[in-house]
Structure 1
Amino acid sequence: MDTGQIIFDPHLPWSLLAIAAGLAALFTALALWRGLRGWWLRGLAAVALLIALANPALQQEERAPLSDIVLMVIDESASQQIADRPEQTARAAQAVRDEVARLPNTDLREITLRDGEDDAGTLAMRALSELMAEEPRARIAGAIVISDGQVHDVESAPNLPAPLHVLLTGHETDWDRRLLVTNAPAFAILDEEVVLTLRVEDSGAVPDSAAGPAPLTISIDGGEPMDFNVPVGEDLELPITLPHGGMNVIQFQLATADGELTERNNSAVIQINGVRDRLRVLLVSGEPHPGERTWRNLLKSDSSVDLVHFTILRPPEKQDGVPVSELSLIAFPTRELFLEKIDEFDLIIFDRYKRRGILPMLYLENVRDYVERGGAVLVAAGPDFATADSLYRSPLGDILPAAPSARVLEEPYRPQMTDLGRKHPVTEGLDQGFGETADGQPGWGRWFRLIDLIPDRGDVVMSGEDDRPLLVLDRVGEGRVALLGSDHAWLWNRGYEGGGPQLELLRRLAHWMMKEPELEEEALTATAEGQTVTITRRTLGDAPADVEITGPDGTVVAVPLEEDGPGRFTATYEGPEIGLYRLSDGEMDAVVALGPAAPKEFEQTIASAEPLAEPVAALRGGAPRIEDGLPGIREVREGRVAAGRGWIGITPREAYLTADVRLIPLVSPWLFLLLTAALILGGWLREGRR
């Protein structure tokens, strides 16, 4: 297609030409006023000179017309996978392709949209902006978004030069129910109530059959579920007391109602880290010895420990003639500690204690019962443990995992971890950082006393000379017991021969007896970082079975575990989508959430054009529902209504590409200069002839 137009390429700036034209008009008018007969010749000369200076030319262009472009964004985010929306989307996209192909000189550009990273939701406007940036703005005739309308970046809508339309999936009769956890702390104090705030909401065309309370199931760490009926549309305050320290995973599950769109937003998982306000420890010391002060200093150095130290400075058999009234300022509350308030202690430590008649058998029976109810006792045995006055020959003998043989070995040895101890979380890796001796033993310092023990039950995790038991752990009823067959652990704290991990050993013992999940012998845990799940299985037995992972959509995947150390097996798994994943190996269960259990895509699941109403209305576009029939596409002029019953419109842009440009001068400067001179001369001669 060829077109032509006259253009000017002046030899002087237009401002000077304007001044010259004004002066020429003034002089011509002056000549006319004075009655000069050649005024019109002078005027023509000025016009000829001005035309020559303006330098007019004919510009001829060879133009190649360009096609109009229609942009299409296909939303295939998670909310678009509900019910029959995938089929609706595919059918609408194909219909748009067919309609655009029918239009003359029109091309289609399309992009498919998935969920945004980090639970950002549906970023349809960002996708539209990216698609628009790849095309010349002058060619864009319209944009079409096929979606449920639940877009989460409307504020990023681009400034379109043509109408925007939304082909809406879903149905008018859709309705959905979702569970929200509106308030949940990240930390909570053990044995204190924490209040969670829940809310159940219905949206869409809720049927009458869905009226009434909603069934809700709550479980902690995959334990026994608890069933409740909760009101819909009201905030529900739920008081919960955490059962243990460390991470507590609390799962909420709404029963699926008939006809609701999806159950993906019917569940929620929160993780609350349980922390102890104070660790209450009762230290019962027998005969004073160098390690007594070490135990006390270790416990007092931790600001989170409340320590009650009961020590016997003057046994009954000691006859020194000192009146009892001069030995103590106050009476020690033994009855209150061992009978009335014993359950308030988290841990009781007997350090080289032997029966002397100070603590009646009734008190020791109560300590035994305290352990069976869930308490914890650590016995650090000294030489007296091998005598007739041993604690083993008291009611505590019923819960101790090993019996004394009456032998006390007084010779140097280096504590070692047993094969079981290398797997047990209390002693696993305890020797790291201490190197090894020439015979392969841990490079920590030696001890010089070992009480010979005969284990009855429990797990021997550390041993002494000739593999004799040194540290034995056991579970009794609901509680736990640890027996240390030496009173020389203080040598590690004093740094003898390089010292050893006494503080770490005591910390792990205390936490294991407090039933901290990270120190459980048999445990299945999962942690998430992004979409990657790290699975850890701890066991004292043989290699565990594969872990079955159940995804949010119900698909099950078996993941094999690989040994990562003694008693530790790990694996990694890439979750295909965010949501709640359940893990099981047939013996242990665990749950982990990638992102929130109910992603942003499922916060609002009812299809609606309301979020995109403003950008659609800006250029008079439309948002028809696909269930009402797929609209045709027609061309409309710019500024006109671009949508109606059964149709949506695009605006033809009539863009073109200039293939060639030719300039043909319309004025010969020398010819017009001669013409100007001739006109001036003619005017002079005409006036002179008068």
Structure 2
Amino acid sequence: MTQLRFDPALPWWAIAALAGLALLVAGFALWRGLRGWAWRGLAGLAAALALAGPAVEIGTRAGLSDIVILLDDRSASQDLPGRGDQTDRAVDRIAAAAATLPDTELRRVTLGDDPDGTQLGGAIARAVSAEPEGRLAGVIAVTDGRLHDAPMLPEDLPAPLHVLLTGQPGDWDRRLVIEEAPAFGLIGQEVTIRLRIEDQGAVPPSARAGGVDLRLSVDGEDPVTVAVPLDTSLELPVTIGHAGQNVVQIELDGVEGELTTRNNAAAVSINGVRDRLRVLLVSGEPHAGERTWRNLLKSDAAVDLIHFTILRPPDKFDGVPVNELSLIAFPTRELFLERIDDFDLIIFDRYSVRGILPPDYYMNIARYVEQGGAILVSAGPEMASVESLNLSPLGPILPARPTGRVIEEPFLPRLTDDGRRHPVTAGLPGGQGDDPDWGRWLRMAEVTPKPGAQVAMTGAGDSPLLILDRVGQGRVALMTSDQVWLWGRGFEGGGPQLELLRRIAHWSMKEPDLEEEALLADIRDGLSVRFTRRTMQPRTGPLRITHPDGQVTDLPLEAQGPGRLTADWTAPGPGLYRLEEGGISRVLALGPAAPREFEETVADAPLLAPLVAASGGSVTRLSDGIPDLRQVRAGRATSGSALSGPWIGVTAREAATVTGLERRPVLPPWAWLMLIAGLILTGWLAEGRRRA
């Protein structure tokens, strides 16, 4: 590499001025007719050139090797039958061929699994940007052509891109596509899942004959089989049975000859929610704490409250005509017979049996509870009287029997051992220790709890204060004191009355977060899960996990507090897992049952085709043979067929780097001086001969 450089002794403007002056003098001499005008002009230009410092720069170069990038796709779809062996042979053959090419280096990039699918576009962009553009001779990708980050592909490449496709031309696959699935659904109502079953690739005619049997299962229950057609969008109705996560598993049988059955199933998680919580609050008489329940329930936007206060019981005779009263009649028939099943919770607040409700109505309330309803009794002194609800047909479902005694003395509500375990009372603010940081209450009714009922709080003399029980499919809660309003008024520091009453009400309405016997799964990151077991039992066994392939894992649980055990676990792969412990079972969906890697499994390269065409590369199926690797000149064809089979070419770049640099002046200073002096002397002699 030889170049002419300048190292001026004066600023360029001064050198330009000198050159201009030389040309001006030469022009003046020509105008006067002097014979030496040309020699004088050349002398001035030579002086200007000498001041510019011309020098010859001589560099020595060293050739650089060409770079070939080999992308080895090892994503999950490459593990399908036959593709792994194809990939191994092709990668080894290309690597061996690249080693025989002169001045060629191979950069091998291995692409693994990713939760977002095959990230081949980003891998190509990163690999190309990491190498000098002038040395890149080619990019070779051994893949099935299915990528999920097409926007990351570069628009063009300085070298050809060759795609070596795995798989076979006769490959085909059947998959289940979930087109639309709701994330939430109302409890007891239907939601619709829209899906489609489609075939891809070279589907044999025998596989397309007839319909397909689709199995639908909710929360691991016995599946329902439905016959559906192929390549048609279908809407399947699913009824949300409970609050919280409802896992809907949809699957179809595999067909002989298809690539994989991993995309023949899907798990959809639908969170069951209540439209509105409907609560009926019946206050037996006005009292200081009457508005406690009303204010709590009215402050909850998810609650529809109907509140009745009995101001004039039937046994009250004051002589006032009924038509002159501004009170409305208590709609007992409508509430307790016709529309009782519309309510999620019925609260009796200091309610006395005074003949307002006939016995049949109480029996209907008991039926309502046994079939899944809930009642909450907030009792006062009437609990120990002959007007107690315990003496009505409702008594058999109440969790305690009154002794007939009312305790009129201050007492501090305390949590029992069951209360520290039960979600309704566990962790109440200020309730830690034997002496809670709460205010005292002043009155309660003495009761005897029934066998099986859970006493969560006690009052004076360790007498039960809050009793919780299950009856049939429903729930019953009993608070034996009407003094909770003291906490709201701040008496002796008050207490967490709103939190306590809210938990009691929502437990009665089967809030999943307040279940005392529950198995929870919190998906942390990807396949990592934290299991939480809430229980009233003193000890539990290991958690049994059944994998999608039938393998069973027993996971020990560690105590993290009263009635709460946890364990951290990482699943070996996505799919539907069944959990069981202590008679409680649930289904857990980790990741999609059909990951993105298996959405499209037939090998093809439609997303890579534009970049292949723009770079002058090629797409070759490995089923036709592994192509030979050649080195071709720029502008020549980069792929073709020969007698030995197909071949692909990488472009020779002939890149080089400068290893040394030497600068030599065009003439030494003394030579410039002699040249300038000689030109001046020649001009003088030319003028002198004219005078002679």
TM-score (norm 2): 0.88
Identical pairs, percent = 56
Matched residue, 2:149: 153
1:370 partner letter: Y
Show CA shifts across 1:634-683 (max 9, x none): 01111322122311111111122322222333423432432343244335
Matches within 5 A, 1:102-251: 102-116=100-114, 119-158=115-154, 159-211=156-208, 212-251=210-249
Matched residue, 2:440: 445
Aligned-pair CA distance for 1:100: 0.9
- Distance (whole Å) between structure 2 residues aligned to residue 209 and residue 550 of structure 1: 35
Matched residue, 1:291: 289
Which of the numbers 81, 84, 104 marks the counterpart of 1:83?
81
Matched residue, 2:62: 64
Aligned-pair CA distance for 1:566: 1.1
- Count how many residue pairs are aligned between Structure 1 and Structure 2: 682
Q: Aligned to 1:492, what secondary structure does the other structure show? A: helix
Aligned-pair CA distance for 1:364: 0.9
Which of the numbers 370, 378, 381 marks the counterpart of 1:380?
378
Aligned-pair CA distance for 1:41: 6.6
- Distance (whole Å) between structure 1 residues aligned to residue 71 and residue 11 of structure 2: 50
Deviates more, 1:641-650 or 1:181-190: 181-190
Aligned-pair CA distance for 1:555: 6.5
Show CA shifts across 1:443-486 (max 9, x none): 34334213222413332222233333222222222222222222
Q: Aligned to 1:95, what secondary structure does the other structure show? A: helix
Are the aligned partners of 1:6 and 1:56 in contact in 2 as well (CA < 8 Å)? no
| Distance change >3 Å, CA 419–CA 227, structure 1 → 2 | farther
Aligned-pair CA distance for 1:13: 8.8
- Distance (whole Å) between structure 1 residues aligned to residue 98 and residue 627 of structure 2: 12
Matched residue, 1:411: 409
| Distance change >3 Å, CA 487–CA 224, structure 1 → 2 | farther
Show CA shifts across 1:406-430 (max 9, x none): 3333333222222122112222212
Matches within 5 A, 1:578-589: 580-585=576-581, 587-589=583-585
Q: Aligned to 1:641, what secondary structure does the other structure show? A: coil
Which of the numbers 640, 646, 657 marks the counterpart of 1:644?
640
- Distance (whole Å) between structure 2 residues aligned to residue 253 and residue 228 of structure 1: 11
- Distance (whole Å) between structure 2 residues aligned to residue 14 and residue 627 of structure 1: 68
- Distance (whole Å) between structure 2 residues aligned to residue 160 and residue 672 of structure 1: 52
Are the aligned partners of 1:415 and 1:447 in contact in 2 as well (CA < 8 Å)? no
| Distance change >3 Å, CA 374–CA 262, structure 1 → 2 | same
1:404 partner letter: P
Are the aligned partners of 1:527 and 1:592 in contact in 2 as well (CA < 8 Å)? no
- Distance (whole Å) between structure 2 residues aligned to residue 298 and residue 46 of structure 1: 105
- Distance (whole Å) between structure 2 residues aligned to residue 489 and residue 33 of structure 1: 123
Matched residue, 1:622: 618
Aligned-pair CA distance for 1:507: 1.9
Matched residue, 1:518: 513
Show CA shifts across 1:536-557 (max 9, x none): 1111224333334456777665
| Distance change >3 Å, CA 375–CA 576, structure 1 → 2 | same
Q: Aligned to 1:313, what secondary structure does the other structure show? A: coil
Aligned-pair CA distance for 1:362: 1.0
Q: Aligned to 2:121, what secondary structure does the other structure show? A: helix
| Distance change >3 Å, CA 356–CA 346, structure 1 → 2 | same
Show CA shifts across 1:598-649 (max 9, x none): 3333332222111111111112111212222211110111132212231111
Matched residue, 1:598: 594
Are the aligned partners of 1:218 and 1:225 in contact in 2 as well (CA < 8 Å)? yes
Matched residue, 1:354: 352
Matched residue, 1:657: 657
1:384 partner letter: E
Aligned-pair CA distance for 1:242: 2.0
Aligned-pair CA distance for 1:343: 0.8
- Distance (whole Å) between structure 2 residues aligned to residue 446 and residue 26 of structure 1: 118
2:543 is the counterpart of 1:547: yes
Are the aligned partners of 1:349 and 1:379 in contact in 2 as well (CA < 8 Å)? yes
Show CA shifts across 1:562-597 (max 9, x none): 111111111223456555554444743334445544
Unaligned 5+ runs, structure 1: none
Show CA shifts across 1:316-356 (max 9, x none): 33332223333455433211211111111111122232322
2:652 is the counterpart of 1:681: no
2:507 is the counterpart of 1:507: no
- RMSD in angstroms over aligned alpha carbons? 3.3
- Distance (whole Å) between structure 1 residues aligned to residue 130 and residue 295 of structure 2: 71
2:534 is the counterpart of 1:538: yes
Show CA shifts across 1:476-508 (max 9, x none): 222222222223233333332222333222222
Are the aligned partners of 2:75 and 2:113 in contact in 1 as well (CA < 8 Å)? yes
1:232 partner letter: L
| Distance change >3 Å, CA 413–CA 71, structure 1 → 2 | same
Are the aligned partners of 1:376 and 1:479 in contact in 2 as well (CA < 8 Å)? yes
| Distance change >3 Å, CA 382–CA 330, structure 1 → 2 | closer
Aligned-pair CA distance for 1:105: 1.3
Aligned-pair CA distance for 1:442: 5.3
Are the aligned partners of 2:414 and 2:435 in contact in 1 as well (CA < 8 Å)? no
Q: Aligned to 1:339, what secondary structure does the other structure show? A: helix
- Distance (whole Å) between structure 2 residues aligned to residue 474 and residue 586 of structure 1: 19
Matched residue, 2:459: 464
Show CA shifts across 1:106-145 (max 9, x none): 11112222344xx433222322333333332222111122
Matched residue, 2:450: 455
Q: Aligned to 1:150, what secondary structure does the other structure show? A: coil
Are the aligned partners of 1:445 and 1:500 in contact in 2 as well (CA < 8 Å)? no
Aligned-pair CA distance for 1:48: 6.3
Which of the numbers 298, 301, 307 marks the counterpart of 2:299?
301
Matched residue, 2:320: 322
TM-score (norm 1): 0.89
Aligned-pair CA distance for 1:213: 3.1
- Distance (whole Å) between structure 2 residues aligned to residue 48 and residue 395 of structure 1: 128
Matched residue, 1:567: 563
Aligned-pair CA distance for 1:229: 2.6
2:287 partner letter: H
Q: Aligned to 1:661, what secondary structure does the other structure show? A: strand
Which of the numbers 310, 329, 332 marks the counterpart of 2:330?
332
Are the aligned partners of 1:177 and 1:201 in contact in 2 as well (CA < 8 Å)? yes
- Distance (whole Å) between structure 2 residues aligned to residue 99 and residue 28 of structure 1: 69
Q: Aligned to 1:365, what secondary structure does the other structure show? A: helix
| Distance change >3 Å, CA 29–CA 578, structure 1 → 2 | farther
1:539 partner letter: T
- Distance (whole Å) between structure 2 residues aligned to residue 63 and residue 515 of structure 1: 82
Aligned-pair CA distance for 1:359: 0.8
Show CA shifts across 1:272-302 (max 9, x none): 3333232222223324433333333333333
Matched residue, 2:424: 426
Are the aligned partners of 1:253 and 1:267 in contact in 2 as well (CA < 8 Å)? yes
1:293 partner letter: R
Matched residue, 2:311: 313
- Distance (whole Å) between structure 1 residues aligned to residue 341 and residue 325 of structure 2: 29
Are the aligned partners of 2:279 and 2:346 in contact in 1 as well (CA < 8 Å)? yes
Are the aligned partners of 1:447 and 1:489 in contact in 2 as well (CA < 8 Å)? no
Q: Aligned to 2:619, what secondary structure does the other structure show? A: coil
| Distance change >3 Å, CA 490–CA 45, structure 1 → 2 | closer
Q: Aligned to 1:590, what secondary structure does the other structure show? A: strand
Deviates more, 1:562-571 or 1:197-206: 197-206
